[in-house]
């Protein structure tokens, strides 16, 4: 018998999860607007207007404006994401970590999570040191220094504040995962990006009102964004299914096997990671030049600005490279072929062992190429539009492709999590 306070269908539990998610997100958004000590906010805001197209612009998008405010949550979830990616790469190159992840079960996964947290702290300390040194060298366009009292005292306070803030953001994400809906880190990243959408949309509409951008171009950009969302939704769950047949075998008086199944291979296997990696590397040179006191009007900065065709070409090639790199890490054709052979499975028309692995590798290359080109188109089309229209570039559309991919991907993941919660509690799904 259900208690009086809890609905037998679990409505109260689902409402609690949604409430916890909303409450924790509110805590995160409040922290984004709490500045670190020792910084002139007005001078900082004036300076960040000149940083369009640099690595800071991308990080500011992922932190929901926390970096431009130099808040306690300025680094957001990026140190944790970077640490997680590094640990994934180490599972490929380090046999000990690979064994820990695959053979030691829950205890091994807890150790990897612990190492990820330690690595997050290290990354945050290093980033905090470099950002504090960079802030000391920055001045507003009128010459006002951003840091009021430069020195090691400011650097140590900034490093400690950023580290504490990143740890708190990581903890908020873990609490959302445990007590809320969906993956906590993804939800926080989703909230950070979505928080900038009203500003971008307002900038687009205001330019259309002021005749800096025609209404036709504005409507076409909005239609393009909707078309991009539809394309992302279609490709997100798209997969290449390789047919697999299992041989019949008799164990005692029972017969096993003989059934036909398939080996799923996602078109966009690497997700948004190739875009994040590519954007980080492509934006690194102009960011370093600005931090070293270089001019925004130099030949290199004008050529490889985020709103130029050369930048889009380099960006596209880097996306192709990282898509193949990450697909190779995630999917091992030799290992898959060996597992099929051990379990009595085979692909019709191909002998078990090396011929099977070669066929899977060929299919993987074709699928990865399609997924990489898809990511490149989504990411580079807004950049090309910005290169062709100065008014469009001023709206920040160059980061639109990356933002939309992340937002749509997290939204689909969250809806699926809600679906599973509702079905588990005997609800009807959203689509029923």
CATH number of the domain bearing residue 126:
1.10.3370.10
**Domain assignment of residue 393, yes or no:** no
Q: What is the structure's pLDDT at 5?
A: 39
Beta strands in 212-341 (DSSP E): 239-246, 249-251, 254-256, 260-266
Q: What is the structure's pLDDT at 258?
A: 61
CA distance 396 to 203: 9
**Domain assignment of residue 272, yes or no:** no
Residue with tokens 């470099």: 130
Burial 384-396 (b: 16+ CB within 10 A, else e): ebbbebebbbbbb
**Domain assignment of residue 256, yes or no:** no
- Is residue 51 within 8 A of residue 290, CB to CB? The reply is yes
- Is residue 382 within 8 A of residue 400, CB to CB? The reply is yes
DSSP letter for each residue of 134-167: HHHH-B-TTS-BSBSS-SHHHHHHHHHHHHHHHH
The CA–CA distances, whole Å, from 404 to 79, 89, 158, 229, 379 equal 21, 26, 32, 7, 9
**Domain assignment of residue 89, yes or no:** yes
**Domain assignment of residue 115, yes or no:** yes
Q: What is the structure's pLDDT at 7?
A: 41
**Domain assignment of residue 70, yes or no:** yes
For the chain, residues with pLDDT lower than 50 are 1-11, 53, 430-431
Q: What is the structure's pLDDT at 301?
A: 61
* Number of independent structural domains in the chain: 1
**Domain assignment of residue 207, yes or no:** no
Structural domain span for residue 175:
1-195
CA distance 34 to 287: 25
DSSP label at residue 297: T
Q: Please state the length of the chain.
A: 432
**Domain assignment of residue 45, yes or no:** yes
Burial 142-175 (b: 16+ CB within 10 A, else e): eeebbbeebeeebbeebbebbbebbbebbebbbb
CA-CA-CA-CA torsion sign (190, 192, 198, 200): negative
Q: Of 286, 306, 284, 307, which Cα lies nearest the Cα of 298?
A: 286
CA distance 417 to 421: 6
Give tens-digit pLDDT for 238-283.
Answer: 888 888 887 766 666 665 556 778 888 888 887 777 877 777 777 7
């Amino acid at each position: 018998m259900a208690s009086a306070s809890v609905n037998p269908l679990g409505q109260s539990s689902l409402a609690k999860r949604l409430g916890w998610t909303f409450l924790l997100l509110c805590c995160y958004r409040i922290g984004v607007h709490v500045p670190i000590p020792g910084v002139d906010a007005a001078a900082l805001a004036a300076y960040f207007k000149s940083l369009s197209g640099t690595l800071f612009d991308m990080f500011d998008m992922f932190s929901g404006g926390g970096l431009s405010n130099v808040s306690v949550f300025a680094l957001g979830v990026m140190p944790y994401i970077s640490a997680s990616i590094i640990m994934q790469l180490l599972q490929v190159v380090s046999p000990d970590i690979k064994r820990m992840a695959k053979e030691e079960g829950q205890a091994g996964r807890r150790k990897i999570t612990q190492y990820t947290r330690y690595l997050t702290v290290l990354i945050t300390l290093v980033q905090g040191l470099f950002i504090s040194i960079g802030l000391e060298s920055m001045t507003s366009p009128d010459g006002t220094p951003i840091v009021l009292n430069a020195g090691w005292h400011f650097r140590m306070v900034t490093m400690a504040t950023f580290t504490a803030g990143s740890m708190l953001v990581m903890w908020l994400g873990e609490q959302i995962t445990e007590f809320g809906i969906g993956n906590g880190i993804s939800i926080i990243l989703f909230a950070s990006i979505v928080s900038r959408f009203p500003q971008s949309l307002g900038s687009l509409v205001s330019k259309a009102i002021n005749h800096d951008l025609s209404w036709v171009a504005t409507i076409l950009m909005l239609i393009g964004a909707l078309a991009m969302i539809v394309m992302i939704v279609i490709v997100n769950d798209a997969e290449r299914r390789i047919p697999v047949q299992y041989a019949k075998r008799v164990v005692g008086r029972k017969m096993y096997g003989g059934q036909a199944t398939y080996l799923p291979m996602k078109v966009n296997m690497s997700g948004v990671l190739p875009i994040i990696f590519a954007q980080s590397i492509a934006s690194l040179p102009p960011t370093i030049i600005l931090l070293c006191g270089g001019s925004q009007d130099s030949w290199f900065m004008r050529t490889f600005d985020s709103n130029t065709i050369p930048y889009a070409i380099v960006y596209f090639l880097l996306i192709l490279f990282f898509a193949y790199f990450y697909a190779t890490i995630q999917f091992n054709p030799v290992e898959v072929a060996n597992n099929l052979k051990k379990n009595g499975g085979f692909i019709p028309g191909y002998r078990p062992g090396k011929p099977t692995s070669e066929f899977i590798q060929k299919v993987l290359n074709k699928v990865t190429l399609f997924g990489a080109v898809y990511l490149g188109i989504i990411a580079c089309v807004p950049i090309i539009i910005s290169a062709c229209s100065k008014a469009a570039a001023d709206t920040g559309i160059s980061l639109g492709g990356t933002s939309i991919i992340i937002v749509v991907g997290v939204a689909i993941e969250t809806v699926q999590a809600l679906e599973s919660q509702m079905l588990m509690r005997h609800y009807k799904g959203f689509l029923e």
